[in-house]
Amino acid sequence: MRAAYRYLVAVLFVAVLAQIGFAGYGAFHAIHAAAHHAVTKKTIESGFDIHGAVGFVIVIALILLLLVALIGRLGGRELRAAAILALLGVLQAVLGAVSTSVPALGFLHALNALAILGITGWMAHASWRPHSRAPAASG
């Protein structure tokens, strides 16, 4: 289970990086559309389609990571971090849905994304770092 956890958290880190890029694409797609077309809500939303789809997959994967940590009995630190990530992922989905009606919450959506990125990066680093090193040779 530790190997599954290690690979899943590494893939999640890369997926969250890509997700932030997809948000940027959506924003600049809207600007491009405004310069070249009549802009409708549908036009703007279409630039964020991949962001929404990947976001859904990430939230499911964050919940799966929590299950892997639980089933694999990986330890307190991994379990706490996976639980925090699962909660932040659900919060991210809620903020993403609500922010279209309350745009000021989009600020929290972006900050929460950075928290998810930081935690997944820390978890990926910790899971791939050698935990025990050979003692220095005495001589």
Is the pLDDT score of 137 beyond 60?
no
Per the CB < 8 A criterion, the answer to whether 19 and 54 are in contact is yes
* pLDDT per position as a tens digit, 48-104: 889 999 999 999 999 999 999 999 887 788 899 999 999 999 999 999 999 989 999
What is the domain range of residue 25?
A: 2-127
Task: Give the count of domains, the chain.
Answer: 1
Is the pLDDT score of 6 beyond 70?
yes
pLDDT score, position 135: 43
* 52 belongs to a structural domain: yes
* pLDDT per position as a tens digit, 16-59: 999 999 999 999 988 988 888 778 888 888 888 899 999 999 99
Pairwise CA distance, residues 71 & 33, whole Å: 47
* 108 belongs to a structural domain: yes
Per the CB < 8 A criterion, the answer to whether 92 and 28 are in contact is no
* 15 belongs to a structural domain: yes
